[in-house]
Amino acid sequence: MKLVMVLMLVALPLYCYAGSGCSVLEKVVEDTINPNLSKDEYVASLQEFIDSEDTAKAAREFKQCFLSQSNETLDNFRVMMQSIYNSPQCALY
């Protein structure tokens, strides 16, 4: 299950790098940390990346990890992601 989560986090940036635009990655990250989005809504928003029930189950568990966090932690995660997006190292790619 952990491997599927790691693969999701690796596959989306590669998908972005392939030319589709980072708006896809930004939307997934925002959906992931949005405490108002249920696990089922989250899976529905990722449907184009989910090809099996095992992957859907992993996505639900992944979302639950973020639903269990405080709003302060989610805000800090959002700041961290923005820092990564805006870093000079990220801009090189």
Name the domain count of the chain.
1
29: how many CB neighbours lie within 10 A of its CB? 19
Range of the domain at 78: 2-91
6-15, 19-28, 75-84: the lowest-pLDDT one? 6-15
In the three-class reduction of DSSP (H, G, I as helix; E, B as strand; rest coil), residue 26 is classed as helix
* Distance linking the first and last C-alpha atoms of the chain: 29
Q: Above 60 in pLDDT, residue 66? A: yes
Region 19-24: what's the mean pLDDT? 61
pLDDT at 26: 82
pLDDT: is 8 or 76 the higher one? Answer: 76
